[in-house]
Amino acid sequence: ARSISLDRFKGCLVGGVAGDCLGAPFEGDQTVSSTVLNSYLEHMDEAAQKRNQPYKPYTDDTAMTFALCKSLLKNEGLNLIDLAGQYAHEFLSDPRRGYGSGAQHVLAAIATEKLYESTDESAVLEPARQQFGGQGSYGNGAAMRVSPVALLHAKDPIELMITTAHRQSLITHSNGLAVLGAVIQAAAVRIALQTEEGKEIDPKRFVNELRNVIIKVDHVDASHREIYLEKLNLVLRFLGKTAIDEEEFCEQLGNDISAPGSVPTAVYAFLKALKPSQDFEVGSGILRTILTAIEFGGDTDTIASMAASIAGAYYGRADIGEDVLKHCEGVQLAEQYAEGFFARLTQQ
């Protein structure tokens, strides 16, 4: 059976957009009940008629994902200086997409100091290095945008994907926790994408593959690797439970804007939603993943977006219907970028 297909490339980017758009209205909420979420879905048409906007807008997650798509396709791979310029340009042309405060500061510095005109890569990385007293940001901003890297390197050795996921992070996030989060998210998309069509995913094997990736990441602290290895143990532990204490879940696995507090949670949501749910009787696996991710509250746009990028790479674009997608801004552009990555791959 085929695994890598245009439908699954589209599923990845469209899933990411849908998770962002559908999750954004709940960002910062505590937990969201399944009753509220089912009603949210049921009344989407009605609610859209009342709003001025024809759709739910995407946020910084998608804005940065699109900037990354654009730069990777234009340069046929990673060009850090061009990418920094794309991120900064996207931010300045549409700053009110809900960027993190650190990210805003870095992108404004890249723009005002015109670092994208530099020929020196290290100059472009300097604002991110200086963040948070020199520690760098451990926010999830490098992970939330990374899925196109898995598409770019779908047929390359995983080491290349790891390097690109790592390096694209450094423009805004120099902390190893943010870098590892981005690498794990990209790897999760890759594993989903490469799973044969119709083949079931075994959560233990999936998590094991992620463990093997973590071990391969260079230039990060061993203590940061340990944090993620422990989080992946928690993912399996929570998947094994029949009832989940939400407070315990949020405290241990997390639902916040830090990379370690959200990337493993996105992986959990994808793996959890592989099975039908009594809470959400939806036919789409991508949609079930999004609802599962939003339920825990917190950084809902980002966790849903990351989880749904993984889910979309597994189920494919055809899994999620127009009745939901018509409410999401940016779906067509996501499809165009997916076509760009797919065409590039088939020309190789």
Q: Does 261 bind ligand F2R (CB under 6 A)?
A: no
How far apart are CB 132 and ligand F2R at their closest, in Å?
3
**312 touching ligand F2R, by CB under 6 A:** no
Q: How far is CA 290 from CA 101, 156, 164, 308, in A?
A: 25, 29, 26, 6
Q: Which stretch binds ligand F2R (CB under 6 A): 161-169, 229-237, 273-281, 298-306?
A: 298-306
* Contact indicator for 67, 116 with CB cutoff of 8 Å: no
**Could you tell me the smallest distance in angstroms from the CB atom of residue 221 to Mg ion?**
25
Annotate each residue in 47-86 with x if it binds ligand F2R (CB under 6 A) or - if it does not, as one string: ------------xxx-------------------------
DSSP E strands in 29-137: the ranges are none
- For ligand F2R, which is the closer residue by CB, 62 or 284? 62
Query: Burial level of 85, CB count in 10 A (0-12/13-18/19+)?
Result: buried
Binding test (CB under 6 A) with ligand F2R, winner from 22, 103, 250, 253: 103
Query: For the window 218-247, what string marks contact with ligand F2R as x by the rule CB under 6 A?
Result: ------------------------------
Give the residue, chosen from 78, 151, 161, 257, that forms a contact with ligand F2R under the rule CB under 6 A. Answer: 257
Tell me the angle at which helices 80-93 and 158-169 cross, rounded to the nearest 10 degrees: 50
120 phi, psi to nearest 5 deg: -105, 110
Residue 174's binding partner out of ligand F2R, Mg ion, none, with CB under 5 to 8 Å set by partner kind: none
In the DSSP assignment, the letter for residue 288 is H
Question: What contacts 95, CB < 8 A, 6 or more positions away?
Answer: 104
Closer of 71 and 302 to Mg ion (Cβ): 302
Task: Pick the binder of ligand F2R from 49, 101, 242, 278 (CB under 6 A).
Answer: 101
Binding map of ligand F2R across residues 12-31, x = CB under 6 A, - = no contact: ---------------xx---
Q: 178: closest CA among 229, 220, 132?
A: 220
State residue 61 phi and psi, 5-degree precision: -55, -50
Question: At closest approach, how far in Å is the CB of 13 from ligand F2R?
Answer: 17
Q: What is the DSSP string of 149-160?
A: HHHHTTTS-HHH
Q: Which residues pair with 258 in a beta bridge?
A: 139
Q: Pick the stretch among 81-89, 134-142, 207-215, 336-344 that binds ligand F2R (CB under 6 A).
A: 134-142
Q: Can residue 90 be called a binding residue for ligand F2R (CB under 6 A)?
A: no
Residue 88 sits at the vertex; the CA angle it makes with 19 and 57, to the nearest 5 degrees, is 30
Residues engaged in binding ligand F2R (CB under 6 A): 27-28, 59-61, 98-103, 132, 135, 137-141, 144, 175, 257, 299, 301-302
